[in-house]
Amino acid sequence: MSPLLSLHGIRKRFGRLEVLHGIDLDMAAGEVLVLAGANGAGKSTFVKILAGVYDDWDGEIVLAGARVRPRSPHDAARLGIACIHQELALVGPMSVTDNLFLGRERGRAWGGVDFGAEARMARGWLDRLGLDVDVSRPVEELPIAQQQSIEIARALSMEARVIVMDEPTSALSEMETRHLFERVTQLRREGHAVLFISHKMEEIYRIADRIAVLRDGRLVGTRPASELSRDRLVEWMAGRSLEEHVRAASATEAPRLSVESLTVDNPARPDRPWARDVSFEVRRGEVLGLAGLAGSGASEILGAAFGRVRRRGRVRVDGELVPPGRPAAALQRGLAFLTSDRKAEGLTPSRSVVENVTLASLRRFSPSGWLRPGQEEAAVRSLATELEIQAPSLQASIGTLSGGNQQKALLARLWLTEPKALLLDEPTRGVDVAAKARIHRLIDEWTAAGCAIALTSSELPELLALADRLLVLHRGAVQVELGRHEASAERVIEAALGGASS
């Protein structure tokens, strides 16, 4: 049987630099093909060619037996290729129906928009996905998982035959991911071809029929998921084998970070604060993991401890009080914070790598009020070598770096502040396996140097590997504390669901 989609000899250059080197790839109707690869492997460029974002490429695309060349995202959708990106392309204040019909409104014969017909059709597309949502609600009021389902409904409404999903689970809980996968399975049954991109090993093997791996702009190989071992997949992605990381404990008895009776209000739900009376200590050389399902309050606790949002309670570093609501004062006392959303909150994309890394420690490089760029660049160059940050130049815009290198640059920014304690919210979100392994080693190095670390991760195996202790949260309250040898995936999930209290 002929493939639904075939790509032959796909090449793409940016100036003199060739980033895709003759990619050949087929997809069948009713197949989920996972496209895997390290950050910078060429996945995003490949997807943008399919989506019509780039049209200056060499090669051939054949869809359902016909040669096609998407010239724009609208053109790709017209041809039957829909892309659902990590950053969803929905207009928050507009209703579900208006988002589904944006740019192709249903008109009445005598003029105007037929809002009734649009609402009925929207309801039908959502029913097809088993999604019970009020189609008149603004999409910004819906959980991210439902917003992604609305993107899928929009693809169905455009009769897309090929649906590309670019890291769709990066902000989803385990339960929301399960629901998304049910919808992907439904798309497979209906004969759609789904190109799925994920950095999460468990997800790749849960959803893939076949796995294709890119490395350095080349197709390394394609195999049925059942025939490709995890070790071989990692070797294909990284170009070398990576050992599974289990952190060696290095904690001392002296507490470095203390959080006492922390309460964080939720403005949208005054009756359900993000955190209620949370207390914990993290010792020098220790990693404390905060585990919980989406909405557990783990991220909000870290952000509030740093001073990003209003809080009640006390935070101390080496016994010194950290004033609430003042991140600059937290940095001065040796407390640093890594946001989970590097694009919206962490990076200044148009600025250079150097400028982004030194952003929180400029006083260090301007002792008399004048910036010393030579010292600044020398410090960043040393860290870039140590952290294996790959960039064409330290003066290059940080927005041109891959996600993994951007994340390592943000970690370098924290380390330049000479922290005593680190608050890391999803430190490896959206990075490839090689970058993740390097970040894990960094955590080892920092704790060995006496730093106290509190962190969250949506990947439970990562939390279990990194944390000396786990606090499991349920609706903003500590449900149970588990030592490394007590913790298991089953116990953590049970407590996160509210099913355990001791």
Residue ending a domain, choose from 238, 254, 278 = 238
Q: Judging by DSSP bridges, how do beta strands 210-215 and 32-36 pair with one another? A: parallel
Res. 262: pLDDT tops 50: yes
Asked if residue 264 is part of any domain, the answer here is yes
What integer is the mean pLDDT of 441-457? Answer: 92
Residue ending a domain, choose from 185, 208, 238 = 238
Co-location of 76 and 141 in the same domain? yes
DSSP conformation class of 188: H
Strand segments, DSSP code E, in 132-224 are: 162-166, 193-197, 210-215, 218-224
Total of domains in the chain:
3
pLDDT at 447: 93
CB atoms within 10 A of CB 221: 14
CA gap 415, 55 in Å, rounded: 41
Output the domain CATH number for residue 72. 3.40.50.300
Co-location of 220 and 267 in the same domain? no
CA gap 187, 181 in Å, rounded: 10
Res. 241: pLDDT tops 70: no
Asked if residue 348 is part of any domain, the answer here is no
Q: Judging by DSSP bridges, how do beta strands 5-14 and 275-283 pair with one another? A: unpaired
Co-location of 396 and 434 in the same domain? no
Co-location of 373 and 487 in the same domain? no
Residue 357's φ and ψ, nearest 5 degrees, are -70, -35
Co-location of 156 and 248 in the same domain? no
Res. 1: pLDDT tops 70: no
For residues 472 and 495, is the Cβ–Cβ distance under 8 A?
yes
Under the banding of pLDDT at 50, 70 and 90, the label for residue 278 is very high
Asked if residue 346 is part of any domain, the answer here is no
Co-location of 105 and 206 in the same domain? yes
Q: Integer distance in angstroms from the first to the last C-alpha of the chain?
A: 57
Co-location of 60 and 81 in the same domain? yes
- For the ranges 7-11, 54-58, 388-392, which has the lowest average pLDDT? 388-392
Domain containing residue 306: 242-334+419-502
Res. 40: pLDDT tops 60: yes
Under the banding of pLDDT at 50, 70 and 90, the label for residue 39 is low
The model's pLDDT over 460-490, given as tens digits with 9 standing for 90+, comes to: 888 888 999 999 998 888 989 999 888 887 7
pLDDT at 233: 85
- For the ranges 196-200, 279-283, 391-395, which has the lowest average pLDDT? 196-200
Under the banding of pLDDT at 50, 70 and 90, the label for residue 251 is low
- Helical H segments across 320-432, by residue range: 327-332, 353-357, 373-387, 403-416
pLDDT at 247: 58
The model's pLDDT over 316-352, given as tens digits with 9 standing for 90+, comes to: 999 999 998 899 999 999 999 999 888 878 888 889 9
pLDDT at 502: 47
Longest dimension (CA), the chain: 78
pLDDT at 313: 93
- Count helices and strands in the chain by DSSP H and E runs: 16, 20
Co-location of 113 and 60 in the same domain? yes
Asked if residue 314 is part of any domain, the answer here is yes
Under the banding of pLDDT at 50, 70 and 90, the label for residue 118 is confident
pLDDT at 97: 86
Co-location of 49 and 190 in the same domain? yes
The dihedral through the CA atoms of 346, 91, 431, 248 has a sign that is: positive
Strand order in the sheet with 312-317: 275-283, 255-264, 312-317, 320-321
Q: Report the C-alpha dihedral over residues 267, 268, 274, 277, rounded to 10 degrees.
A: 50
Average pLDDT, the chain: 86
- For the ranges 125-134, 194-203, 371-380, 472-481, which has the lowest average pLDDT? 125-134
Res. 243: pLDDT tops 90: no
Co-location of 110 and 34 in the same domain? yes
Residue ending a domain, choose from 218, 238, 258 = 238
pLDDT at 499: 64
Asked if residue 345 is part of any domain, the answer here is no
Asked if residue 432 is part of any domain, the answer here is yes
Co-location of 94 and 208 in the same domain? yes
Share of the chain above pLDDT 70, in %: 93
Co-location of 386 and 326 in the same domain? no
CA gap 105, 121 in Å, rounded: 12
pLDDT at 240: 60
Res. 8: pLDDT tops 70: yes
Report the candidate in 172, 180, 16, 148 with the shortest Cα–Cα distance to residue 82: 148
Under the banding of pLDDT at 50, 70 and 90, the label for residue 29 is very high
Asked if residue 116 is part of any domain, the answer here is yes
pLDDT at 244: 56
pLDDT at 392: 85
Report the candidate in 245, 205, 248, 291 with the shortest Cα–Cα distance to residue 433: 245
The model's pLDDT over 207-223, given as tens digits with 9 standing for 90+, comes to: 999 999 998 889 999 99
Better-scored residue on pLDDT, 272 or 439: 439
For residues 355 and 349, is the Cβ–Cβ distance under 8 A?
no
Asked if residue 344 is part of any domain, the answer here is no
